[in-house]
Amino acid sequence: MAVAAHIQPAPGSLRSILVKNSTTRLFVHPLEWTIDHLNFLNVKVVTSTSIMEPVVEEDKLGAYESIHQALKRKHLSKIIRYLETKISPCSSRDSAMREYIKTTAIIQKLHPMEAQMSFAYSRCQYATFPPIILAWHDFPFLNNHPGTPIWAYTDQTWINTARRKRYRWKPRSYATEQIKNKEELAIDPVYVAILISLAKDKKRESETPGLQETDSLQVTLFVPEHEFLPHTRGRRETKLVQYTAKISNTYLQKFEDPYKFFDASLHIEKKMLPTSKPNMVLQAIETAIHDLCGPSKPEPSRSGSSRSGSSEPLSPAPILKRKALTELKSDVGGQILDSKRRKVCSVDE
């Protein structure tokens, strides 16, 4: 350990920038990531041009119609009516959306559940995310591990509650200001950290003997957004946002080996899915399944070998001392994301 402590970080590496900016408030914990993190980590968000257009193949229309009937039996239509007609705070709508996403996952024969997920830095579990719903293929768990998650879901109620708890020793106005600042960004930095952790999980799974490794990993995160409707008495429109990222192994190495420099960027695609059209959401989930394992569902391994991943239910990991996190090339330090994520709700709700 004494030798490792004297290793000089490569120029441009995470560690080298951390040392140069040791007095800044750029911390490793994802709840405290800011626009500077998005810039230094070279994150770019692109909104899909086909936001509201469903793409359903003709030969699948009948299947989707039958699925929609099943969704009604699962009370999804009741949830949709609630979202469309009720004047309710964002926290209540987030709660309804959790039931919505779980129901659609079950219809797609997936196994959704709330689970802990950790963020790793320098090959150590550094922090635990706020509550997350993860969906796996619906087969029996092997060695108490369900394999790689198909996709993840979270919402601002869970995240903002965690942020307020983290800042509980500070004035309430400080936490409110931090939450508002995140709403003005193209993407909440916590979403970026979740996508990175999903890719790390997927990478570990691909390293299992007998499975083919890939140079890049595609992962999906669903998040609801609630917007005020103009000329109404406080009504909101709720949509499900799909974030899809194709993350290279080189990009993941930034966090695994922070003493080394890795030149890679992260591109995230954002799609808006209307909750009133559940077959569009089903199609998005089916696409996430295809991205993970192809058109056919994989058979579970029977080798009995134990597999570990950050998405399985965990006991709280030892939390390391807070460190600054800045990054990368000197020529990206001044970049600012010019697109802004739409403000979804009042932070005091």
Q: How far apart are CA 292 and CA 297, in angstroms?
A: 10
Whole-number pLDDT of residue 269: 95
Whole-number pLDDT of residue 50: 61
The one-character DSSP state at 27 is B
How far from each other are the two terminal CA atoms of the chain, in whole angstroms?
48
Residues 205 and 211: beta-carbon distance below 8 Å: yes
Whole-number pLDDT of residue 65: 56
Q: Which residue has the tokens 């966090």?
A: 255
Averaged pLDDT score across all residues of the chain: 75
The packing angle between helices 90-107 and 278-293, to 10°, is 60
Q: How far apart are CA 92 and CA 71, in angstroms?
A: 21
Whole-number pLDDT of residue 21: 67
Q: How far apart are CA 234 and CA 236, in angstroms?
A: 7
Q: How far apart are CA 109 and CA 93, in angstroms?
A: 25
Alpha-helix runs per DSSP H in 21-171: 35-40, 61-73, 76-85, 90-107, 156-166
Tokens found for residue 333: 């330090």
Q: How far apart are CA 336 and CA 322, in angstroms?
A: 25
Q: How far apart are CA 275 and CA 193, in angstroms?
A: 25
Measuring CA to CA, which residue among 249, 154, 258, 155 is closest to residue 199?
249
Global confidence as pTM: 0.77
Q: Which residue has the tokens 């996403």?
A: 101
Please list the ranges in the chain whose pLDDT falls under 70. 1-6, 21-26, 49-74, 138-146, 206-214, 231, 234, 291-349
Tokens found for residue 100: 């919505």
Q: Which residue has the tokens 């994301």?
A: 337
Whole-number pLDDT of residue 106: 84
- Residue 126 CA, chain-centre distance (Å), reads 17
Q: How far apart are CA 85 and CA 235, in angstroms?
A: 8
The one-character DSSP state at 95 is H
Q: How far apart are CA 283 and CA 127, in angstroms?
A: 33
- What is the per-residue DSSP string for 304-344? ------TTS--PPPPPPPP-B---S-GGGTT------PPP-
Whole-number pLDDT of residue 202: 86
3-state secondary structure of 238: strand
Per the document, the length of the chain is 349
Whole-number pLDDT of residue 327: 40
The continuous run of DSSP H or E covering 125 comes out as: strand 124-128
Whole-number pLDDT of residue 138: 57
Whole-number pLDDT of residue 74: 65
